[in-house]
Amino acid sequence: MSKQDPFDFSNTLPIINEDTEFFPLMSQQDEDEMNNEETPDILAILPLRNTVLFPGVVIPITVGRDKSIKLIKEAYRAHKIIGVVAQRDVSIEDPTFEQLNDVGTVAHIIKMLQMPDGNTTVIIQGKQRFRLISEIQNEPYIKASVAKFEETKHKKDKEFKALVDSIREMSAQIIQLSPNIPSEAAIALKNIESTSFLINFISSNMNAEMADKQQMLEMANLRERAEMVMELMTTELQMLELRNQIQSKVRTDLDKQQRDYFLNQQLKTIQEELGGSSVDLEFEALKKRGAKKKWPAETKGHFEKELDKLGRMNPAAPDYSIQLNYLELLIDLPWNEFTKDNFDLKRAQRILDRDHFGLEKVKQRIIEYLAVLKLKKDMKAPILCLVGPPGVGKTSLGKSIAKALGREYVRMALGGIRDEAEIRGHRKTYIGAMPGRIIQSLKKAGASNPVFVLDEIDKVGSDFRGDPSSALLEVLDPEQNNAFYDHYVEIDYDLSNILFIATANSLSSIQPALLDRMEIIEVNGYTIEEKVEIARKYLLPKQKENHGLSAKDITLKPALLERVIEDYTRESGVRGLEKRIGSLVRGIATKIAMEEPYNATLVQDDVERILGAPVYDKDLYEGNEVAGVVTGLAWTQVGGDILFIEASLSPGKGRLTLTGNLGDVMKESATIALAYLRAHASRFDIDHRLFDQWDVHVHVPAGATPKDGPSAGVTMLTALTSAFTQRQVKENLAMTGEITLRGKVLPVGGIKEKILAAKRANIKEIILCKSNRKDILEIKEHYIKDLKFHYVSEMSEVIDFALSKNKVKQPLDLTVRDLPQPAN
């Protein structure tokens, strides 16, 4: 039976032939006569393998088994009545009586035909259903005693009539939707008068499983059989509608492709009539551009190979545009194209000094690079990494370097990048594939030796799509980047002539292997004096120009600029300062536009009127009247700052309490300081019993600000010693340094920022580790001329410098209590 159509009328086709002497349809009178016939008590049983015979239905079957052929021939010569039963398992070649279903159909042999291939085909018509009782013989074929299958009465109400009409209507829909079912089938269904024969006819010819057909044959109630037929037909109709939808969609897509093809052919013919095909013109243009290009030998061969591939492709194919874009990228890339470097070192120095104030280390390194490049023409470019707080000019410095060298400038923001393909590109096999941003930037620059700024390299992320920082290892390695492989370009590109300048705010989040490939240059924050000069020379003129003011319209004196810096900004760079100056300029611009009188030279009252009340209070030294309070120096993201370590004692059992939102390292520093003090109590004239009778509380304001790091170690030691000895801390003194359990003082970082913070707070003396002396030497002398430095290597030296011999004015009474002796 065919699985392609919901009805299989191939079994009835021989009967529809006009030359046959029988007709497959049955009237109600014919059905009544058939039902009144007597059912024989004993029948020869013909097992059916692939179908089920229903009463009244005429079907052809091919007989192949020797037993079956013998049965058919004997019955055809005699009374032509046999019993037809479907076998339970269709894979069994010679089924026994037990392997047959219980219910079968009495069949009348209408005709027996001998086919050309030797097989015997018989046309049989079902009569009545019977139930197998027992086996009488199994050789030469099965004979069995049978009983008539009694059918139960069903109620012929309106609901049953509607059910039959629905079956008839759904049958017509299925026939109409199925292209392989002949239209005669619909006519045959319309002419069936008998309800039971209609259901039997559809049950026999519908595309259902053998088990379902046998189940319908065994149903005694016609109404139940009709409901099952309806259920199976509904499923078949849904499947047929879905299949037709799919075929219609595919046919529509094919029609569109054919339409596009014919239109393209017509367009090609028109273009040829006008003087050439656009596709041919594109191909020739690529060929001419490729011939003029200064290719590396390997790249030239690859381009020609890909160009030949384009010539063989159908312009209507989807891959054609992909291949065309790829070839255009290869041509647009600046292979062996370089800008000429300007080796005038004095000019380069002037440009760097003009655009940026300070930053001496960076400028010196660029001049050194230019000098060596001038002497040795093919020097590999260095990989520089500028590290410093925000707003100090790291990114804009790259533009000035490009201007000084006479090179193209490219900036690539790395902040938030998480996909490796952003660096290496996608393979061409992906839809919407693109080259990486390195290659795209070089195409935009038009030269292979630009100044390439990798901005915010410390903020590169990573996730399931890959690790971009690992992809940058090849880009930033001078030994590897002469053969950088982009997945889209598919051939090596030389990046060794690019001057890469990376910028970062912190080194802690940069991968160690990537950090090792770069030359780190620290860009520290600006001093107040430097900020005043930057504001006067760069920021104020820039804001005047941006707001349409002339030089005489507004004047800010250095003293006023210093007040703006201290009262309205708290940063290492100058971004916030530029915004404040912009606000002042806009305030004057408003006065000019409204033609109101104003004073061109601003004073403090004008600043407070425009900017409001001061935002920040200046951190000042707070005095030494209280024991246990010591001034420390700290480094923050926005520059240096001072902090106060407060230590107090209270009667207790020697517990240590730490507050002030401290990190683990800072807590460990307090523990080390107390442990050292207990171990060397006699050295500082402290009764060791005090440590067991007084609780220690160390607090670091402000409590809402997280603090961490080892540099407060010496400050905590001094605060604890002052608290236990009640000795005064020297006036106008600050300190910074890490301590160890052995009593050593270790160097710390951020010295320049810390020194500038101390100067702002009117500190006069500073205690540092001896190893930090080199950091002081790098600071310009006029910035630190009023400061006195004490360099130490032992913690005992810190106490000797920091604490005076005098007690505070109101010392705490630290008497040792006599503890009760345990009873004998």
Residues annotated as catalytic are 711, 754
Helix or strand run (H / E) with residue 759: helix 751-760
471: which DSSP letter? H
Contact 385, 514 (CB under 8 A): no
Token pair 């004057």 is found at 588
Q: What angle do CA 403, 407, 411 make, to 5 degrees?
A: 85
Q: How far apart are CA 317 and CA 323, in angstroms?
A: 10
Tell me the residue type at 244: N
> What residues have CB less than 8 Å from 137, skipping those under 6 apart?
143
Helix or strand run (H / E) with residue 632: strand 629-636
Nearest to 45 by CA among 114, 145, 121: 145
Contact 383, 476 (CB under 8 A): yes
Tokens at residue 470, please?
A: 């690992």
Q: How far apart are CA 7 and CA 10, in angstroms?
A: 9
> What residues have CB less than 8 Å from 193, skipping those under 6 apart?
27, 28
Strands 81-86, 103-114: pairing kind:
antiparallel
List phi, psi (to 5°) of 155: -85, 120
- HEC string of 321-350 equals HHHHHHHHHHHHCCCCCCCCCCCCHHHHHH
601: which DSSP letter? B
Contact 734, 632 (CB under 8 A): yes
What interhelical angle do 394-405 and 360-375 show, nearest 10?
A: 30
In sequence order, what DSSP letters do the residues of 230-291 get, joined into one string? HHHHHHHHHHHHHHHHHHHHHHHHHHHHHHHHHHHHHHHHHHHHHTS-HHHHHHHHHHHHHH
In sequence order, what DSSP letters do the residues of 76-110 get, joined into one string? HHTT-EEEEEEBS-TT-SS--GGGB-SEEEEEEEE
Contact 480, 474 (CB under 8 A): yes
> What residues have CB less than 8 Å from 824, skipping those under 6 apart?
none
